[in-house]
Homo-oligomer: A and B are copies of this chain.
């Protein structure tokens, strides 16, 4: 009767949200461990993915940040470290001197290819107990939460 613990004092709704946070942190840890073997961190890997999927393998630093929900100030350091390791190039946009363009290098592309298989295997293990219907249902629910939190965050900073 006496023994209390953290989980018991959370409301059910709070448990749901904290579970999502914990799942995300676990997953980031899983992937970070893989990426580190290739010299990349989780956000660095994601920048490369965005550039790889962009036209000509390049994009504005601000656009990459917008896609990843990473603030501009944070992108500067991330991009500099990626450049130092030669995964990307940084160059000025001739058409607008304010703009910094990021471009993935051959080394960056090669590294992504080498990571791909191991990363996909990990995701398959994580989701192995889910049917396609399960995954669709889960994704739809998560999307609702993303929309709600995005709206809340906009309202709070305005």
Measured CB to CB, the residues of A under 8 A from B are 2-6, 8-17, 19-30, 33, 49-50, 52-55, 67, 69, 120, 122-130, 134-135, 137-139, 141-146, 148-150, 152-153, 156-157
Contacts and interface: CB of A to CB of B under 8 A. Distances in A.
A109 B67 CA distance: 39
Contact of A24 (B25, B33, B152): B25
A157 to B, nearest CB: 7
Contact of A23 (B3, B29, B123, B142): B142
> Main secondary structure on chain A at its contact with chain B?
helix
B4 A55 contact: yes
Contacts of A123: 11, 13-14, 17
Nearest to A28: B21
A20 B13 contact: no
20 contacts: A5-B53, A12-B135, A13-B120, A13-B127, A14-B123, A16-B138, A16-B142, A17-B126, A20-B24, A23-B146, A24-B25, A26-B69, A26-B145, A27-B149, A122-B152, A125-B148, A126-B148, A126-B152, A130-B141, A130-B144
